[in-house]
Structure formats: C-alpha cells, structure tokens
A and B are shown apart, each in its own frame.
Chain A
Amino acid sequence: EIVLTQSPATLSLSPGERATLSCRASQSVSSYLAWYQQKPGQAPRLLIYDASNRATGIPARFSGSGSGTDFTLTISSLEPEDFAVYYCQQHSNWPPYTFGQGTKLEIK
C-alpha cells in the first residue's frame, strides 16, 4: 500500500499570503496525484489532478507540481474562502487509492 504523508499538519497564514502544502509518497506514483479541498460539513472538491492540472472551475491561484514521490500544492495569494483542509490522493495503477492525512490551512 502506498502511504502519503502531508506536511505540515497545520498551516497558519493570513489572507494574501502564499501557501505551500507538501505531499510525499512512500513509492513513486508517477504523476497520478490529486489534491482536494474540504470545508466543514461539505464534500471534498477536486482541485488538481494528474499532479498539475486544474479541475474545472478552479481558480488560477491554485497550482500543483511534482512527480514521482514529491508533490506540492501552491495557493499564490490566499482568499478568505481558501481556509479549509486539503488532502492529496494517489491514483496510480493499483488500489487502494490512498489519501494523505490532510493539511489544515487556518487563518493566522
């Protein structure tokens, strides 16, 4: 089973700042990595798929990068609605398609 480790567990920033979230895989997942955003009481929302492709309707301030075992989600300038929990998920060739434990992005 591929283990995804996200860091940091919590990130405290102010609106307008740049956020950098990390996801590391225990073995290569090539570029088959997605990022999701989840707000309290809501379903997850797909932000990024295949490591760097923005999903439909996702603002350009969200970007993803990386391949193999190290991935990054960057939010260039935080908006108030961006404060949420972010999960990475690998969707490489064999299940289970594991999630990371999440990074909580909170207002400083």
Chain B
Amino acid sequence: EVQLVESGGGLVQPGGSLRLSCAASGFTFTNYAMTWVRQAPGKGLEWVSAISGGGGSTYYADSVKGRFTISRDNSKNTLYLQMNSLRAEDTAVYYCAKDRGIAVAFVASDYWGQGTLVTVSS
C-alpha cells in the first residue's frame, strides 16, 4: 500500500524558514517523480514544485522560485521542501504527491499525503 506522510508544518514568522518532509512507503521511491501542491485556506489547489525520480530535474512555480528548494533522499525514501523567506501568502496546507512516472512531465499525481499546515504570521 502506498503511503505518504508529511511533517514539518507549523507556525512561522514572515521572513522565516521551514523544512517539510514527506516519508514514502509502499513503492520503489526512486522510480517515481514527486510533487508538492498547496492549498490556501478555502482556496483551490496550486502546483508548487516537482522533482524527477533521480533528483536531477527540479521545477518550481514562479510564486516560490528562488525561495523554495525541493530535494529528495532516495536512500531514506523521503521528499523535502525547504521554504525560505516565507510570506503570509505561503500559508496553506502542503501536500506531497507521487507521480505516475519517473520524469516530471506528462504524468499526473496518483497518490497524495494528508497534508501539513504551514501558517506564516507574526
């Protein structure tokens, strides 16, 4: 059974940093691209970032480019999202998701974690 468990969310002040983790199990982690998607309170889904199975290709939404860094440790079956220079508009539930293929392009996300809430406020 595929399982994705996010952690690391919480309350952080504007300008602060946070690192999210996503522990994966039930599939061969290195064979699949992974994605972060966020959802602000009461709003729709926003694609944030994605990384290929080997970790060599990374992609970002313009809204987070230069502030967020996606990475993965395939030896630990774990996905990360390092978030720096956080803003109030980054407040959201952050979901990690497994993609259907090893490359980022052309594939949907078939399994999702339950999400972790990040609140940016003073």
- Footprint of B on A, CB under 8 Å? 1, 32, 34, 36, 38, 42-46, 49-50, 55-56, 87, 89, 91-102
Interface centre among A32, A95, A100, A101 (most CB of B within 10 A): A95
B108 cross-chain contacts in A, Cβ below 8 A: 34, 46, 49-50, 89, 91
B60 cross-chain contacts in A, Cβ below 8 A: 95
Instruction: Sort A-B residue pairs by CB-CB distance and give the 7 closest, nearest first.
Output: A34-B108, A43-B112, A49-B108, A95-B59, A99-B45, A97-B47, A96-B61
| CB<8 Å pairs between A and B, sample of 14 | A34-B109, A38-B45, A42-B114, A43-B95, A43-B113, A44-B45, A46-B110, A56-B110, A87-B44, A91-B105, A95-B50, A95-B60, A95-B105, A99-B44
- The DSSP consensus for interface residues of chain A is loop
Q: Given the known inter-chain contacts A43-B112, A43-B113, please indicate yes or no for A93 contacting B45, CB distance below 8 A.
A: no
Known: A43-B114, A93-B105. 8 other contacts (CB 8 A): A34-B108, A43-B115, A44-B95, A46-B112, A56-B110, A95-B50, A97-B47, A101-B44
A46 cross-chain contacts in B, Cβ below 8 A: 108-112
CB distance from A103 to the nearest CB of B (A): 10
Interface centre among B35, B104, B109, B115 (most CB of A within 10 A): B109
Residue in chain B with minimal CB distance to A95:
B59
A36 cross-chain contacts in B, Cβ below 8 A: 45
